[in-house]
Amino acid sequence: MRLLALDSSGDLRSVALDDDGVILVERAEAGARGHAERLIALVDAARAEGGWTWSTIDRLVVAVGPGSFTGVRVAVAAARALALALDRPVHAVTTLDALVAAASDAEPPVVPVIDARRGGLYVARPDAGEGGSTPVATTPAAATDGLPARFTAVGSGAPALIAAAGRGEARERAVTASGALAAARTAIAAGTGPMAGPAVRPLYVRAADAVPRAA
Taking alpha carbons only, the member of 198, 190, 209, 115 closest to residue 154 is 115
Question: What type of residue is 119?
Answer: G
Question: What type of residue is 171?
Answer: R
Rounded mean pLDDT of 7-16? 95
Q: Count CB atoms within 10 A of the CB of residue 44.
A: 11
The predicted-structure confidence for 145-165, as pLDDT tens digits, reads as follows 989 999 999 999 999 999 999
Rounded mean pLDDT of 21-30? 95
Q: List the beta strands (DSSP E) in 96-213.
A: 110-117, 120-123, 136-138, 152-154, 169-171
> Residue 144 pLDDT > 70, yes or no?
yes
Specify the pairing of strand 12-19 against strand 2-7: antiparallel
Helix (H, G, I), strand (E, B) or coil at 161: helix
pLDDT at 28: 94
Per-residue confidence at 213, pLDDT binned at 50, 70, 90? Answer: very low
Give residue 11's region: left, alpha or beta (phi > 0; psi -120 to 50).
alpha
Taking alpha carbons only, the member of 58, 57, 78, 59 closest to residue 7 is 78
The predicted-structure confidence for 170-211, as pLDDT tens digits, reads as follows 999 999 999 999 999 999 999 999 999 999 999 998 765 544
Per-residue confidence at 124, pLDDT binned at 50, 70, 90? Answer: confident
pTM of the predicted model as reported, rounded to 2 decimal places: 0.91
- Domains of the chain, with CATH numbers? 2-94+177-199 (3.30.420.40), 96-171 (3.30.420)
